[in-house]
Amino acid sequence: MAAAAAAAVAKVALHSSRSIVNVTPAASSPASPFSASLTAKSADASVHDVAFHNEPAAELINLSKAAASGVVSLLASADTSLLTRFVPHLPALVNTASVIHIATSGDHADVLALRSSGLIILHSSTATEAHDHALLAVRIAATTKRAVLHYFETVDGDNDAVQDEVTEADLKSFVASSSSSATSPSTAPNGVNGVNGVNGSNGYAASNGNGVANGNGASHVKAPASTGDLDADLSAAYDAVSDLVGREVKPFALYGSSQASDVAVVLGPGAEALSKADSSLAVIDVRLVRPSLATSLLSVIPTSAKRLITLERSARRTTRIGPLFVDVATALQSDDSRSIPATFVSGSLGHITSSNASDAAKTVSNALSSQKAGHGVLIGDTVKKTAAPAPATTAPVTPPKHEEAYSIMLDQVFKERLAVINSPHDETDPHPAARSPEYAFGQVMGQLEQRDALERAVKSAVRTGGVSPELHDILSQWLVSKDDSTKSAALSAKFSTLLSSASSSPDIDSIKSLVSHADNKSRWIVGSDAWAYDAGMGGVHHVLASGRNVNMLIFDTLPYSKRDSIDASKRKKDIGLYAMSYGGAYVASTAVYADYTQVLHALLEADKFDGPSVVLAYVPYRTVDAAAIEVLKETKLAVDSGYWPLYRWDPSAESKGKEVFRLDSTRVREQLREFLDRQNHLSFLANARPELSYDLASSQGTALRERQKSKAKEAYEKMLDNLDGPPLLILFASDGGNAEKQAKKLSARAKARGIAARLLAMDDFPVAEELKDEENVIFLTSTAGQGEAPQNGRLTWKALQAMESGSLSGVKYSVFGMGDSHYWPRPEDAHYYNKPGKDFDLRLEKLGAERVADLGLGDDQDPDGPQTGYKVWEPLVWKAMGVDAIEVKEAEPEPINNEHMKIASNYLRGTIVEGLADKSTGAIAETDQQLTKFHGTYMQYDRDTLDERKAAGLEPAYSFMIRCRIPGGVCTPKQWMQLDDVAEQYGNKTMKITTRQTIQYHCVVKGNLKSAMQGINKACLDTIAACGDVNRNVMCSPNPAISQLHDDVYEFSKSISEYLLPRMNAYHEIWLDKGTDSKNQLLAGGALKDYEPLYGPYYLPRKFKIAIAVPPRNDTDCFAHDIGLIAIAGKDKKLKGFNLSVGGGMGVTHSMKVTYPRAGSVIGFVTCEQTLEACKQVMLIQRDTGNRANRKQARLKYTIDNYWKGPENFRKELERRLGYQLAEPESYKFTTNTDEYGWKKDHRGNWHCTLWLENGRVKDVPGEEFRKGLYELCRRMDAEEWGSKLRMTPNQHIIVADVPADRKQALEEHLRAWNMDQYERLTGVFKSASACVAFPTCGLAMAESERMLGGFAGRVEKLFARWNLQETEVTTRVSGCANGCSRSWLGEIGLVGKAPGTYLLLLGGAHDGSRPSKPYAESVTEDEIIKLLEPVVESYAKHKEEGEPFGDYVTRVGIIRATTEGKRFYEDSLSNGVPEWRNALPVGVDTLPKGKISLPAVATSA
């Protein structure tokens, strides 16, 4: 048959093709089995001889592209390396009108490797079939424009002559008709990966039986129009060829009885002979291999089949079951009416002729009747190229173990290049360590290092010369081509020969000793199933982290049906996701029983990828001897369900303009989908502003932080390629950011010394699993709460505690702790100082780690703060690492700060839009978190659930706070109802009236953020500049009853707010979907043309606040703001102007004595006409001279004190800018900074009622439905057109204002009915107490505030009530942290959170808000505060003067010294210890504690 088949095929090709690629064994031997038949003069085809190693597939594609019409053919003999090299070209090849004829020599394994490629595959067993199929292939290729692979036998058999070969004339006519019927390609093909099911078929179940029309031998050619449907086209092609050759040509042929119970399905020659030898056996000859026409196949398998064997020629089978078995199983499973035969096995098809057919049939019969029917039987003789008769054998072919399929594939693909470092099944070295991932990784790294050494030696030899020109040339070529597998192998062979005659030199000797590494090997580490249990364990992480070209093949054998039987905590980590998240790695998820070609693709791509590759291999089985059908079923289930998605992730594809991710199965697991979504988003973010990509990504939720972690690692690893120094892992734990900042600096300084430093938050590093593998580790931690580690170091601390002693031997470490020796002033609390640092240091020592530099301690109280200790400690580290002699001259890189973010934000746009669209996390990027403040929203998270969620691997419960801009705090009932609707629909069904007279929503999740913003806009309000480094909500005394000035003053608050409002086109675009004049004006680089006339792109250095107060009430606390305007009335009782106060501000950083609360300085008087401009110029001075390098020193108060050296100079600068001198301040008198509750009548006769609500929280609780009551009230006021308004007070209460006299009673009744009249029943302390939000939503809270105020105020109230002072108003203010949002620094009693349950106690603030308080006791609990207050209140009760406020009394009598100016805030504070003056208290107040609280001294320098 051999010659006849090849000749027939060549003849058809010659007369039907535009071009022919004739693949020759080698350039020097241009003969192929087809060559002799390719010489016909009458042929149109141009014949191109291409040696097999010269990428004939590429040539075929090129010719195909060049041919405007017609078919292009390729003729070749089967060869593994040839067909393997087809794989990369398949995507381009599949949709070309080409025919590939492969002459096989008895083993089909190589051809069948391409069965899932999307090619249409025909098989011929006889010369006549080869002739017919050659015609069929042309017809199919021409009509469908799809590539057809036709393979046929070259082994001599019974049928080696072609019957009724077509004439040349008929052939030409046939080709012409085929071309004329060609249409566009069938829509069905989906490329090389067009596999939907386990068998790689693409689902073209024939709906028309076998698709073959019985011809009648007519010699004319039918040319049916192509339907564009592959099934129909195939059917038509079969019809056409059957007509042409005058015999039935069909995809499957049944020999024998259609009632048989024993069936053999045969892919290969000998079907007919087998059938003839056993009349009880039905034999099905498979001729169409792909597409797998299930219906068509089923139509020829007798329904009576009880026992079935599939036989195919695949001696080098890579799977225990062959593809034919898979096809038959799939076909049977596709029809519910058919069941799998009781006996269903597979075997190998040997050589069958009429002489051995009888024995072969017996073997089949035996195999089918065997109790232990398996998959290894060989039917027929062993295949040889020449048909030498051999005795039939029943000896089983040893089937490979399931996983060995992959090893065999590796062998076939890479041949001599293959270097498998280890194998779980390799038992040559019995020691378990020999199969461990660490061992394998070490081996690979060793080999790579040797290759690196070879490269260095070759470079040196080339550079220094001293070698023969020939060797020099070869060595140079090798350097260029060393990564090309083919070229490097060829060159290494050459220079090996030349080396033997080269004279000795150190380089040459090195090269000689290392020459075995010259080949570019394909290095594979084969990982057992056990590796998948924890990606952090074993070598996976090491391989990924190495960044080297190392490939891993990792098995997963967990059957799909058992996936839930594994304890969730023990489930395998998804190595694929891990590797993709890690970044810089090629990843493929494969299943050989699902898609063989995909595995081939994956292996080739992994090898080619310049970096680590991970190929996951799914071979599910319960026991090693599991039936192959079980493996197949499990694979099918897993792939079809999406449990085991088939995909390939090739990061290098992007640079080639190709898709990085290719999904090879139809379903994708949810986690994978999420990863891809995140990846897309992340890429967008990073691409949008590459210079900020670190910050962008680092701020995402847990999942994205994982991604960031890997990004950071990747970046560092790349950087480390250039660093030769020792590795150093720096782990930090930091709440406030100081320790993190210090760690970043340390890392930068380490790198400057050539140290390969990596920087991570402690809890982001898998301490339990991987710390032991680190060589040098630095722990850098601050101190939180009661001496605990900061949030992002607590898991690490737990992990260290859980480790066994000695488990960190081999790790060198040093610890630097940061703390404040004064934070816990009492001797018994002294051990809290720097406790985490000390704890880590001791614990690491206990675990066997070697301390290389003594524990360093940074103390906020040192002259230079923590730097004092740090400067001593850092040199010890460099010394320990042997880099202390290195002098670093480069300046340290400037860290990214808010100023960079602002300027890079494109006028506050940033990537907010993209962040909102990212569904994979509840968070937005860190930079965007800074930007959204300008838009009036802060990202927060639920601190109550943080630890639980962290332990569960979840990101924090992120949500957003939204703050409205409501100048003067006035809104109509209609507006209030709309604001209430927003809380109901998008928030937590409460609203918080803030100390800046506006409302805040909490717990708005990201998905609702935009809707909430639009809801607020519906109320004709916005949130612009409610937060951020701009002028914020302008406050105004709320009670119009107190003065006729109020109307004017309120108008001023609105005017100032509008005058200083940032333009913020971004706000309208992002939240309101409104076009702006800048929206469509793109500049180069994608930036929008925009501008901020007042602020410029940097905005202000910090927030800026303005408040107006109308004496005698300083309810707005006007001295707490950057600008305080004190309304001054003229003689006509009308507004004359304002006294101008500048430089007020509350925020402080604990332990930083350069920060302090400051009451504003009154620097002059401005008329109404001058006010707007004066406010603007004050703000612009701050814009221009404020400290932008240090946000903790950026408020106007520091600008005045530090830059302008006092209010006087500041005033001069303001006058210079205004162009006139400010008038001297007018006299005024404030009496209080509290609210006045209940009813008040104004000059117009309208009534105003100030309502009390605890902490400004508008909410409903059983029995106290304030929110509903207010809503109903608004509804009524609106419906009945009262003309009333709501006014929010700066003390977080609400005024129902402008109530006409005739509605007063109705309102009173409403308030009573809804229990909103609590102000009538309150005592003085409650009326004047307020608190900030703090826990659980405020991310900065150190202690409870809002949630503790009620209980605390009740206790304080009792102290006063004991002395019958319950009606005395004492401003009692609590803040959860030193930012002092409730203005606690001005409280007569102030509490500022320091740690959970612990506060700084302040006393001595003025009752009119003009004087800040002073520290009375540091770090005291609520109980201790009550105890401390007890004698003070007693003293007050006994010795106060008539009407004397509490704050004034304690300073008058010397219980605490008065704070005369911000900079002197810490002076004479009792937290400095009990001073001399304190012991000389006035008579009658000697019950006060003297030295009862032991308070160590602090440095007071500012």
Q: Which is nearer to ligand SF4, 1049 or 1341 (CB)?
A: 1341
CA 56 vs CA 61, 91, 346, 604: distances in Å: 9, 15, 34, 18
Taking the complex as a whole, the smallest distance from the CB of residue 1262 to ligand SF4 amounts, in Å, to 27
Q: Which is nearer to ligand SF4, 1376 or 1445 (CB)?
A: 1376
Q: Which is nearer to ligand SF4, 1130 or 1350 (CB)?
A: 1350
Q: Which of 964, 1003, 1027, 1381 is catalytic?
A: 1381
Contact, 636 vs 630, CB < 8 A? no
Q: Which of 996, 1105, 1414, 1440 is catalytic?
A: 1105
Q: Which is nearer to ligand SF4, 1255 or 1375 (CB)?
A: 1375
1027 an active-site residue? no
Q: How far is CA 257 from the centre of its chain?
A: 61
1192 an active-site residue? no
971 an active-site residue? no
Task: Report phi then psi at 938, rounded to 5.
Answer: -115, 140
CA 196 vs CA 54, 88, 595, 599, 820: distances in Å: 33, 20, 9, 15, 64
Q: What 3-state DSSP class applies to 411?
A: helix
1175 an active-site residue? no
Taking the complex as a whole, the smallest distance from the CB of residue 1003 to ligand SF4 amounts, in Å, to 15
Read off the tokens for 603: 């292996």
Instruction: Please name every residue paired with 265 in a beta bridge, in sequence order, or none if there are none.
Output: 284, 310
Q: Which is nearer to ligand SF4, 1322 or 1341 (CB)?
A: 1341
Q: Which of 1103, 1257, 1373, 1440 is catalytic?
A: 1103
Pairwise CA distance, residues 202 & 206, whole Å = 11
Q: Which of 313, 669, 963, 1113 is catalytic?
A: 963
Task: Report phi then psi at 789, rounded to 5.
Answer: -70, 155
Pairwise CA distance, residues 6 & 304, whole Å = 39
1381 an active-site residue? yes
Taking the complex as a whole, the smallest distance from the CB of residue 1181 to ligand SF4 amounts, in Å, to 26
Task: Report phi then psi at 677, rounded to 5.
Answer: -60, -45
Q: Given the rule CB under 6 A, which residues bind ligand SF4?
A: 1332-1334, 1338, 1340-1341, 1345, 1375-1377, 1379-1381
* Extended strands (E) in 2-117: 17-24, 46-51, 71-77, 98-104
* Extended strands (E) in 105-173: 120-124, 148-153
1105 an active-site residue? yes
Taking the complex as a whole, the smallest distance from the CB of residue 943 to ligand SF4 amounts, in Å, to 10
Pairwise CA distance, residues 568 & 114, whole Å = 38
Question: Which is it for the CA torsion 124, 130, 133, 137, positive or negative?
Answer: positive
Contact, 688 vs 911, CB < 8 A? yes
Taking the complex as a whole, the smallest distance from the CB of residue 996 to ligand SF4 amounts, in Å, to 11
Pairwise CA distance, residues 1000 & 995, whole Å = 10
Pairwise CA distance, residues 870 & 892, whole Å = 17
1452 an active-site residue? no
Task: Report phi then psi at 1393, rounded to 5.
Answer: -65, 140
Q: Which is nearer to ligand SF4, 181 or 1345 (CB)?
A: 1345
Closest residue by Cα to residue 773 from 546, 1107, 1034: 546
Please state whether the peptide bond connecting residue 827 to the residue before it is cis, i.e. omega within 30 degrees of 0. no
Q: Which is nearer to ligand SF4, 883 or 1343 (CB)?
A: 1343
Q: Is 1089 exposed, middle or buried (0-12, 13-18, 19+ CB in 10 A)?
A: middle
Rg (CA), the chain: 42
Q: What 3-state DSSP class applies to 49?
A: strand
Q: Which is nearer to ligand SF4, 361 or 1377 (CB)?
A: 1377
Q: Which of 1287, 1377, 1394, 1457 is catalytic?
A: 1377
Read off the tokens for 764: 């982001």
Taking the complex as a whole, the smallest distance from the CB of residue 735 to ligand SF4 amounts, in Å, to 13
Cα angle for residues 1175, 1177, 1179 (degrees, 5° grid): 70
Pairwise CA distance, residues 696 & 704, whole Å = 10
Q: What 3-state DSSP class applies to 708?
A: helix
687-712 residues labelled b (16+ CB within 10 A) or e (exposed): ebbeebbbbbbbbbbbbbbbbbbbbb
Taking the complex as a whole, the smallest distance from the CB of residue 1143 to ligand SF4 amounts, in Å, to 20
Instruction: Please name every residue paired with 556 in a beta bridge, in sequence order, or none if there are none.
Output: 618
Q: Which of 1032, 1102, 1113, 1285 is catalytic?
A: 1032
Taking the complex as a whole, the smallest distance from the CB of residue 1377 to ligand SF4 amounts, in Å, to 3
Q: Which is nearer to ligand SF4, 192 or 1343 (CB)?
A: 1343
The string of DSSP letters for 450-505 reads: HHHHHHHHHHHHHHH--S-HHHHHHHHHHHHHTT-HHHHHHHHHHHHHHHHTSPP-
Taking the complex as a whole, the smallest distance from the CB of residue 1337 to ligand SF4 amounts, in Å, to 8
The string of DSSP letters for 595-625 reads: -HHHHHHHHHHHHHSSS-EEEEEE---SSTT
Could you tell me which residues come within 8 angstroms of residue 62 by beta carbon, excluding any fewer than 6 positions away? none
Residues in the chain: 1502
Closest residue by Cα to residue 1401 from 1387, 1385, 1381, 1417: 1417
1355 an active-site residue? no
Q: Which is nearer to ligand SF4, 450 or 1149 (CB)?
A: 1149
List the catalytic residues. 963, 1032, 1103, 1105, 1332, 1338, 1377, 1381
